[in-house]
Chains A and B, each alone.
Chain A
Amino acid sequence: MAFSSFAEFLAMGGHAPYVWSAWGVTALLILATVWHARVEQRQLLNGLKRRARREHARSTGGAQAPLNAARFTSVEGETRNDA
Chain B
Amino acid sequence: MWAFINKLRSPKWFYAISAKLQPFFWVAAAALILAGTVWGLAFAPADYQQGNSFRIIYVHVPAAFLAQSIFVSMAISGLVYMVWKIKVADMAATVMAPLGAAMTFVALFSGAVWGVPTWGTWWMWDARLTAMLILLFLYLGVIALRGAFTSRDSASRAASVLAMVGVINIPIIKYSVDWWYTLHQPATFTVTGRAAMPMEMWVPLLIMVLGFYSFFIALTLMRTRSEILRREGTKRWVQDLVTGQPEEKR
> Interface of A with B (CB < 8 Å)?
1-3, 9, 12-15, 18-19, 21-23, 25-26, 29-30, 33-34, 37, 40-41, 44-45, 47-49, 51-52, 56, 71, 74-75, 78-83
Contacts and interface: CB of A to CB of B under 8 A. Distances in A.
Grouping DSSP codes into helix (H, G, I), strand (E, B) and loop, the B interface class, with mixed when no group exceeds half, is helix
Most chain B CB within 10 A, of A1, A25, A49, A52, is at A52
Contacts of B219: 33-34, 37
Interface stretch (B6-14, B36-44, B124-132, B164-172): B36-44
Contact of A49 (B110, B147, B243): B243
B102 interface: yes
Interface residues of B, number: 45
A12 B55 contact: yes
Nearest to A74: B234
Contacts of B45: 2
B42 A25 contact: no
A9 B106 CA distance: 23
A1 B43 contact: yes
A21 B42 contact: no
